[in-house]
Amino acid sequence: MNHPTRAVIARPLAPFTGTARVPGDKSISHRTLILGALTVGETTVEGLLEGDDVLATASALRLMGAHVERDACGVWRINGCGVSGLKEADDVLDLGNAGTGVRLLCGVAAGHPFTTFLSGDRSLSRRPMGRVIEPLEEMGARFLGRSGGRLPLAVTGGDPLLPLHHELRVPSAQVKSAVLLAGLHAPGTTTVVERTPLRDHTERLLRAFGASLEIVPGENGRRSISIAGHPELVPVDVHVPGDPSSAAFLVGLGAALPGATLTVRHVGINPTRTGFFETLKDMGANLTFTDCREMAGEPVADITVEGTVLKGIEVPAERAPSMIDEYPVLAVIAATAEGPTVMRGLGELRVKESDRLASAAAGLEANGVRVDEERTGLVVHGVAGRPPGGGCVTVDLDHRIAMAFLVMGLLSRDGVAIDDAGAMDTSFPGFTRLLEGLGAEFGEWTG
């Protein structure tokens, strides 16, 4: 999935007052489409994220026989084929930049006794798949790919697929989810053990769709999640809450701009995803949660933030799994804070859409902010106000780097440019339009 590149500059933003609503949660959107495709009957989804990543997953499921369509009112309807009922696709499944989509579909493909071919764009083809391939091969699936298990991949499902007891070696919700999805197709019970709390959207949705799931808590956040194979999943109506990772760009902007007041409505506040908001509070942000309720089995709230000068802190390394996608924007927010902000335990950022540690450090340095890049961390030396700006950041197909540095431009003295605004459509279509509604100004960057 290619998009035209477009260089854009974000100009300094004055304090503002406003409200906003962000697109649906990307993690929940992927998982809802997949589980709907494994159900007999019609699942309806409101608020589905219509970004490139999720649309790639929808296209892949259509090729495998599921009926996935959007009606004129924006409601998505999925008529599935049942567990193990998908068909062999007539073409390669191109997942574009969708790391979640491709890893979860590996788990689904592992449970079907035919060969599925998976590919992606240049960025996705660099990302490691060995972490998900290893447990699925133990269950009886076969994989053929490039060195390091990189895309493109051929996946031949196990016949039969075997249940597995797997302890996660890396803290990855995608690997956990892939194994649980594969476990739907295996007789008996498949168990995944996580050593630290990870996103639990898969577990919540599996229960909503009627799967038999048992969760046994242990010490220090350790959990065992067991799923019974060959369930009859039931269709449900899902209302997808706003994505907290997308809300982070707006909430962070409001928090770091003294005099600003912003409310972001209908944001998912799953406790496995709120590390960024906790960190902002530790930095002195004025942050409140109101109208707390539940959507799609997920806690949701409206988040109101009032801007102030933040203070640098040391972010607890154990918080990383609950905010791993938010570190690029946190690095930008930290540039405005008083004193250094220390972020460690971030080795996983090296293998995201880009090397996000290196990308964040390079972007900050290009815009006049001192930063120490470590092997698994960053130390950002804040300037207690607007950072200089004036540079252009190479995005390298990474949507979160793109959005983070546009936020920096709004917070800076001289603006910040990015070389590829199209990357943002991966997870947040309409990002600049939404910000323009709050008074932001963007222009074409010509160097």
Active site residues: 325
Q: What is the CA radius of gyration of the chain?
A: 21
Quote the distance between the C-alpha of residue 368 and its chain's center: 29
Spell out a b/e string for 195-205, using b for 16 or more CB atoms within 10 Å of the CB, else e: eebbbbbbbbb
Per 3-state DSSP, what percentage of the chain is helix, strand, and coil (rounded to 5)? 35, 25, 40
Closest to 43 (Cα-Cα) out of 163, 210, 161, 280 = 210
Parallel, antiparallel, or unpaired for β 76-79 and 42-46?
antiparallel
Bridge partners for 144 per DSSP: 154
Secondary structure class of 443 (helix, strand, coil): strand
Backbone phi, then psi, for 86, in 5-degree steps? -70, 160
Q: How many Å apart are CA 412 and CA 144, to the nearest integer?
A: 47
Strand order in the sheet with 314-315: 314-315, 338-344, 377-383, 371-374
Residue 433 CB partners (closer than 8 Å, separation 6+): none
Could you tell me where the beta strands, DSSP code E, fall in 319-440? 338-344, 371-374, 377-383, 392-393, 416-418
**In the numeric block, which tokens belong to residue 280?**
């902002």
The helix or strand, by DSSP H or E, that contains position 145, with its residue range, turns out to be strand 142-146
Query: For tokens 């600003």, what's the residue?
Result: 260
Query: For tokens 């769709």, what's the residue?
Result: 209
